Amino acid sequence: MAEYSKKMVKVPTYSYLREQDADKLPVLDVRNLGIDFGGLTAVDSFNMTIGPTEISGLIGPNGAGKTTIFNLLTSVYQPTRGSILLGGIDTKGMSTHKVTRMGIARTFQNIRLFTDMTAKDNVKVGMHKDIKCSFISSLLRLPAYYKSEKAADKKAMELLEFMGLGDVADMKAGSLPYGVQRRLEIARALATNPSVLLLDEPAAGMNPSETAELTEQIRRIRDTFQIAIILIEHDMNLVMNVCEGIVVVNYGRIIAKGTPEQIKDDPAVIEAYLGKKEDA
């Protein structure tokens, strides 16, 4: 029998929202999330609350479980424990494409573009669910087909230009340089019209000037589309510059949470990155 009592205790599930989102509901609320792979706990007791216009960082040493968390958020893996509330709806048991349709979009650590298709077509694939045109009208080339294709073309070009990719629209995605491919992946993710954008190491392989440009772009994405962004990144400059809140994980658990300033000086974080300081 469970014992009932009136006493209140502090539970670690609810964290804070940024000031700008004070009057809004969190867009993503992750509670006590955990996953085991064959007895091995990869992620455990992961909590995170993201406001609708927040830029948040997820950092930690290699193998800390960051990408696994993204895979859980996008239903690539189903969690062993805990829940993910996307706009208040539990995504348990949903498939990846359904979760995406509910407003979560992502990029990949090892870029996953449709390499044989043009940059524009990559974005148009991202817009798939918003192109209103039935199977029959595209098969019979009814006016609805031309109308929807035209609208899609226009929006795809807008997105490409927004990401500074206007001049590579008709080039094959696979032939583009690395940094451009990363930005194209972001454009494709934005095309799904998300409310939360997950960026998995967006600056990996970029040179400093490209990274600086990316920092601006990330802010601009949030300001323009008014969406939440979570990014995994090893470039601390970028993270400290752009993120409003940071979550640090190691061995699948949260070891610190806070603003960039708080994280910078957190002993647990320093230890995770540099190892424990030996007492002399």
Partner 1 sequence: MKNTINSFWSNKARRTSFVTYAVVILAFIAVQVFDSMGMLSYAMRGQLIPICVYIVLAISLNLVVGISGELSLGHAGFMGVGAFVGAVASTALQSVIPDTSLRLVVAMVVGGIMAGIMGVVIGIPVLRLRGDYLAIVTLAFGEIIRNIANNLYVGKDEAGLHFALLNEDGLKMSETGKLIMAGPRGTVSVSAISTFMAGFVLIMITLFVVLNLVNSKEGRAIKAIRDNRIAAESVGINVMSFKLKAFVVSAVLAGAAGALYGLSMSNVSSVKFSFNTSIDILVFVVLGGMGNILGSVIAATVLTLLPELMRPLADYRMIMYAIVLIVVMLCTWSPKIKGFIQVVTDGVKGWFKKLFRGLFVKKEVGTNG
Partner 2 sequence: MAVLQYLINGLSIGSIYAIIALGYTMVYGIAKMLNFAHGDVIMVGAYISYCVMIYLKMPPVAAILAAIVVCTVLGVLIEALAYRPLRGTSSLAVLITAIGVSYFLQNAAQLIWGVAQKTYSSVVAMESIHLFDGKLLITGEVIVTIITSAVVMVCLTLFTSKTRMGKAMRAVSEDRDAAQLMGINVNRTIAVTFAIGSALAAIAGVLLCSASPALKPTTGSMPGIRAFTAAVFGGIGSIPGAMLGGILLGVIEELCKGLISTQFSDAIVFGVLIVVLLVKPTGLMGKQVQEKV
Closest approach, Cβ 252 to partner 2, in A, equals 17
- Residues of this chain, 5-64, that bind partner 1 according to CB under 8 A: none
Of 53 and 67, nearer to partner 2 (C-beta) is: 67
Q: What are phi and psi of 126, to 5 degrees?
A: -60, -30
Q: Which range of residues in 18-26, 49-57, 122-130, 250-258 is near partner 1 by CB under 8 A?
A: 122-130
**Residue 126, binding choice from partner 1, partner 2, none, Cβ under 5 to 8 Å by partner class:** partner 1
**Residue 67, binding choice from partner 1, partner 2, none, Cβ under 5 to 8 Å by partner class:** partner 2
Give the residue carrying structure tokens 């031309």.
146
Using rule CB under 8 A, residue 129 touches partner 1 = yes
Asked if 27 contacts 56 with a C-beta cutoff of 8 angstroms, the reply is no
Among 85, 131, 144, 236, binds partner 1 (CB under 8 A): 131
Asked if 5 contacts 54 with a C-beta cutoff of 8 angstroms, the reply is no
Using rule CB under 8 A, residue 76 touches partner 1 = yes
Q: What x/- string results for residues 49 through 78 when contact with partner 2 is judged by CB under 8 A? A: ------------------x---x----x--
Please work out the total of residues on this chain that contact partner 1, with binding judged by CB under 8 A: 38
Using rule CB under 8 A, residue 150 touches partner 1 = no
Using rule CB under 8 A, residue 113 touches partner 1 = yes
Of 49 and 71, nearer to partner 2 (C-beta) is: 71
**Residue 154, binding choice from partner 2, partner 1, none, Cβ under 5 to 8 Å by partner class:** none
> Could you list the residues that contact partner 2 (CB under 8 A)?
67, 71, 76, 108
> Could you list the residues that contact partner 1 (CB under 8 A)?
74, 76, 95-98, 100-101, 105-106, 108, 112-117, 121, 124-126, 128-129, 131, 133, 135, 138-141, 145, 148-149, 152, 188-189, 191-192
